Structures are given as C-alpha cells and as structure tokens.
Amino acid sequence: MLILDNGCPSLSTGFILDWEPYYASPLLGMSSPDFSIMLRIVDDFQDRYLELQAYQAFVQILRSKIELLGDGWFFYDHINDSQSDGRNKGFPIHIRKPMLELLRGTKDSEEQVNRFMQANELILNKILECQEFWEMREIFAQKPD
C-alpha cells in the first residue's frame, strides 16, 4: 500500500514477501515475512537526496524514535549497510517487524487487521512527527536541477 503518493518522499507499507528488489532479508529468515514501512524516493531525486541535510537528520531522528520503541521494531538503513549486496536508492529506509511477532496473540482476521492498522498508525506517526520528512517533501516539490 502506497501512502502519500502525491509527492516525494512517499511511504509504502505492507508485508514484504520478496526481499530481493530491496537487497535485504526477512528478520526471521524464511520463517516469517516482515511487516515493513519503507521510505520511497522517486527516480528524479535518487541522485541527490543522500546529500540533503534534511535527509541525514531525518535518518538519525527516526532511527532514535524506532529504537526507543523496542518491542521487536527494527530500523534498517540499507544504503549504509556495508553487508548489503546492493543498493535500492528508491527504498533506502525500512522500518520492520516480523509478521509472526506483529500478529502474535491475535485470534482471528479482524484482530490481525486491527494489529496491522495499529502498527501502521504507530510508525507513521513517528515518521510524520519528523519535521525533516516535511522539509524533504518541500524540497522535492521543486523540480530537480
């Protein structure tokens, strides 16, 4: 599911079954797909966002917010992961939790949907609280050079 699609950066959320395009592996291996919210940068901006002060500050602030959550949440900056076999500049930041962990204790599909929505709300609020996210959207609203 793509969120805030009319601008850049945008956000993508869901359960990731095929990690190959993102140059990452599920947190629990093949035992569980991951719930993930990923920052999405469109092609026009992929050559310049890494240098932006707003992006660098956003990464640091969001990493701290996610680490404070604990509870199995994992902040992954795959662009700066020296162990990664490749780079997908279109999806540099992944906030993840194994699906098994996310849905643990739910009894039916309604509870699972509620848990999914609660996780989205929790993480999206952390992202949207970051002024730097909004600064990047303002910068990217202008045409690239």
Q: What is the pLDDT of residue 143?
A: 61
pLDDT computed for residue 103 by the predictor = 96
pLDDT at 29: 87
Is residue 46 within 8 Å of 39, Cβ to Cβ? no
| Domain, as residue range, for 13 | 2-141
pLDDT over 60 at 94, yes or no: yes
Residue 40 near residue 90 (C-beta atoms within 8 A): yes
**pLDDT tens sequence across 104-127:** 999 999 999 999 999 999 999 999
Q: Domain total for the chain?
A: 1
pLDDT of 43 > 80? The answer is: no
Contacts of 136 (CB under 8 A, 6+ apart): 8, 9, 49, 52, 54, 55, 58
> pLDDT-based confidence at 6, cuts 50/70/90?
low
